[in-house]
A and B are shown apart, each in its own frame.
Chain A
Amino acid sequence: MDTTLSPTDLAALINRCTGVAVTSDQVCFSQQSFDELGVDSLGLMGVVAELQRNHGMSRGVDVAPNQSPRELLSLLTGKV
């Protein structure tokens, strides 16, 4: 399992999967939700699928558009 995903990596991954520009600062500090950032439900499914495929995120974990990238990162570093 890959537990070394940094905020920068996650920001880049979100950008790649959804086309929404997210900074590592936003991942670390902002409370803005995926929804508010402009990541829709399909985009978020793409992010989650990518994390599951390549970053060892467990299949049981789900993320909703009203959660933030910061919450996602803590899910990853905490639970993975």
Chain B
Amino acid sequence: MTRRVAVTGLGVIAPGGLGVKAFWELMTSGRTTTRPITSFPAQGFRSRIAAECDFDPREAGLVTAEIDRMDRYVQFAVVAAREAWDQAQVEVADPWRVGVCMGSAVGGTTLLEHDYVATSGNGERWLVDADLASPFLHRALSPASLAAEVADAVGACGPVRTVSTGCTAGLDAVGHAARLIEEGRADVVVAGAAESPISPITVACFDAIRATSARNDDAEHAARPFDRDRDGFVLGEGAAVLVLEDWEHARRRGALVLAEVTGFATRSNAHHMTGLTTEGVEMAEAVRQALDQAEVSSADIDYINAHGSGTRQNDRHETAAFKRVFGERAHAVPVSSIKSMIGHSLGAIGAIELTACVLALAHGVIPPTANLDTPDPECDLDYVPHTAREEDLRTVLSVGSGFGGFQSAVVLSHPERS
């Protein structure tokens, strides 16, 4: 029999909400955090807006050595991990049974770019001057360092790895972590994802394919998933960490179980690195597999946390996928995209969305889709526009799509589901 997976701790660093409490207040307020980029001078770029975290590492509890050593996205992750770990109150009897599984799409790009500029003299030298590099640069090259820092923060000695499936990395990291528990490879896994992609190279690469919004003079309304007037996603940053635990392990120690991870699946569209099919077949398949694993039917899903990036292609793709799985009932299931409020933090967002789902289950409140003024006629589901909605939630679904053709789905259930 496979082991059940409990969520016993949450931590989050998101734009407009450092820590779970502030994050949930934001989620239920329908406020948006998108604004003109302050991380670097963005004139000359097509998209000059982002959802940034006002994050002071020292205030967040990091010490000088940590701040020096860790890239921004790692700092987010470690602070979020400490919050989640504190909440879970796990007393580790055997560190070899504690694992870590963290996701990130672009890893240490911020430091990679910073040091590239220094070592190349603003791009003048192909043969960069290695003497000008930071001693911690090597950690930026490989995001394995992300999971390693989180592991050290909680004292984990079990399986530790970073998942990097582009923009589904956050969902996949949590799904993969749940499997480590199901398969008996660990009793506790600290799972989540982190990203700090708001740097010139990342902004420029999305500019080049016009994936991001250019609504520069109206930043707070720029992230408009499912809206007729959307023009792409808004880059975000942040991290979220969930403490996953073998159900019996959590029960024995009397831990408060916040939710259960009941299903996870991922499928590829084998279609295009950035393009999505209009039919959403692969996302539908991922959802069906996740529902199967959760031993629930589509009729049991009370809420869908959508990928909802706010590109026309995505919004139509996933709307089609939901109709494929839910049939007529698709119109009756609330669907929302929190990217409308906190932007799209690439690899991190899936974990942030799962955190929002756990809180939604716990509070019985569905976070809304902000800025949804005039729905795209092709997108005709109930996207919970503007205002959070109270609803008794038992089982929720979160989905994501990523460059590379990845489609992932996670099912979370209320701890008292049966």
Residues of A within 8 A of B (CB): 40-42, 45-46, 49
Contact = CB atoms under 8 A, between A and B. Distances in A.
Nearest to B274: A42
A14 B42 CA distance: 30
Given A42-B209, A42-B274, 10 more contacts: A40-B272, A40-B275, A41-B274, A41-B275, A42-B273, A45-B208, A45-B209, A45-B210, A46-B208, A49-B208
Size category, B interface: under 10
Tell me what chain B mostly uses at the interface: helix, strand, loop, or mixed: loop
Nearest to B273: A42
12 contacts: A40-B272, A40-B275, A41-B274, A41-B275, A42-B209, A42-B273, A42-B274, A45-B208, A45-B209, A45-B210, A46-B208, A49-B208
Interface string B198-220: 00000000001110000000000
Interface of B: 208-210, 272-275
Contacts, number: 12
B223 to A, nearest CB: 22
B214 to A, nearest CB: 12
Contacts of B210: 45
Contacts of A46: 208
Tell me what chain A mostly uses at the interface: helix, strand, loop, or mixed: helix
A62 B361 CA distance: 46
B166 to A, nearest CB: 15
A79 B334 CA distance: 48
Top 8 A-B pairs ranked by shortest CB distance?
A42-B209, A45-B209, A42-B274, A45-B208, A40-B272, A49-B208, A41-B275, A45-B210
A32 B208 CA distance: 25
**Which of A42, A46, A49 has the most CB atoms of chain B within a 10 A radius of its CB?**
A42
A42 B275 CA distance: 9
A40 B271 CA distance: 11
A53 B54 CA distance: 36
Contacts of A41: 274-275
Contacts of B273: 42
A45 B209 CA distance: 7
A49 B210 CA distance: 11
Nearest to B313: A41
Contacts of A49: 208
Contacts of A42: 209, 273-274
B344 to A, nearest CB: 19
Contacts of A45: 208-210
Contacts of B209: 42, 45
Nearest to B275: A41
Nearest to B272: A40
B45 to A, nearest CB: 14
A45 B275 CA distance: 14
B270 to A, nearest CB: 14
Contacts of B208: 45-46, 49
Contacts of B272: 40
A42 to B, nearest CB: 6
A40 B273 CA distance: 11
Nearest to A45: B209
A42 B205 CA distance: 11
A45 B204 CA distance: 13
Nearest to A42: B209
A38 to B, nearest CB: 12
Contacts of B275: 40-41
A42 B210 CA distance: 10
A49 B275 CA distance: 19
